């Protein structure tokens, strides 16, 4: 089973590029981020005509996540548990059954910038960085619950986390950024420490692997990228991992997203 994650940075802007990539690569399941569309306006027929079941968790102009699946989507849930007041559309999950069932969670983790800190270095309450870290703690709790269910599970999407220095072309430029601050990386590691496998690093080592290039300052032409789109696999899912790749070439096409697809192949 080929499962992909892709931050498309607006479904309207990628109305041609996304179907083109789907037709070429034929993933079985795709989790999308930043659809930037309410549910009613999402062009679901475009994907249903290609054989995909479509579930969305949308929001006008911002955020928004979706799952496309050639297999039925069961027990669909929207919104990350832990804060009923959180109205941002950043989480969707469903069960997909191939040779066996797998719980697929798609996420768009908060960016967290600008980083606002108190004089003693703590995130300012109510600020974007505090929201990011609180969201990551909720993610850790959901991850813990997924493990307790003891079925294959994965959490995939735009994590807005640069886990290690080698995941950035110029790591020094990111040291004070919410994507690479020590608190952010530590929160990511706390989730990993529960027993998850980061799929890409299970198959590829070393620098030079990126999934995002900014539109500004010629980042793509200079390959000044960062790797922030990740698959975290439960132990049961990690046992099924056959491959994980980044479709880097998509970034060089007409009207690209600033992210590219990342995918795993699982023995499902």
Query: Catalytic amino acids?
Result: 108, 158, 259
Q: Would the annotation count 258 as a binding residue?
A: yes
Give phi and psi for 88, each to the nearest 5. -80, 130
CA distance 246 to 211: 7
Helix runs in 149-204, H state only: 182-192, 199-203
- The contacts of residue 228 (CB under 8 Å, 6+ apart) are 158, 159, 160, 161, 162, 167, 179, 211, 212, 259
Q: Pick left, alpha or beta for residue 121 (phi over 0 → left; psi -120 to 50 → alpha; otherwise beta).
A: left
CA distance 91 to 33: 9
Residue 144 CA from chain centroid, whole number: 18
Q: Would the annotation count 49 as a binding residue?
A: no
Q: Would the annotation count 20 as a binding residue?
A: no
CA distance 57 to 40: 10
Q: Would the annotation count 7 as a binding residue?
A: yes
Helix runs in 174-261, H state only: 182-192, 199-203, 235-238
**Residue 60: helix, strand or coil by DSSP?**
coil
Annotated binding site: 7, 34, 158, 160, 258-259
Annotated binding site for Mg(2+): 7, 34, 158, 160, 258-259
């Amino acid at each position: 089973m080929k499962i992909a994650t892709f931050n498309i940075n607006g479904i309207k802007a990628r109305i041609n590029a996304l179907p083109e990539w789907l037709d070429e690569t034929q993933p079985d399941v795709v989790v999308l981020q930043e659809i930037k569309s309410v549910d009613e306006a999402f062009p679901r027929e475009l994907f249903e005509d290609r054989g995909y079941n479509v579930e969305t968790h949308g929001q006008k102009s911002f955020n928004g996540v979706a799952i496309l699946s050639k297999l039925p989507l069961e027990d669909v849930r929207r919104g990350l548990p832990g804060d009923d007041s959180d109205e941002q559309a950043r989480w969707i999950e469903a069960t997909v059954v191939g040779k066996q069932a797998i719980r697929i969670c798609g996420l768009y983790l908060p960016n967290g910038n600008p980083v606002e800190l108190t004089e003693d270095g703590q995130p300012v309450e109510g600020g974007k960085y505090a929201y990011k870290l609180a969201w990551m703690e909720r993610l850790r709790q959901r991850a813990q619950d997924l493990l307790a269910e003891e079925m294959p599970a994965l959490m995939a999407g735009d994590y807005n986390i640069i886990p290690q220095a080698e995941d950035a072309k110029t790591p020094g430029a990111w040291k004070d950024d919410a994507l690479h601050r020590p608190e952010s990386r530590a929160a990511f590691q706390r989730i990993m420490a529960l027993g998850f496998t980061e799929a890409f690093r299970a198959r590829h080592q070393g620098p030079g692997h990126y999934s995002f290039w900014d539109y500004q300052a010629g980042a793509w032409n200079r390959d000044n990228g960062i790797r922030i789109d990740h698959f975290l696999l439960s132990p049961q899912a990690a046992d099924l991992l056959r491959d994980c790749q980044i479709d880097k070439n998509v970034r060089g096409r007409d009207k690209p997203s600033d992210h590219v697809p990342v995918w795993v192949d699982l023995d499902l």
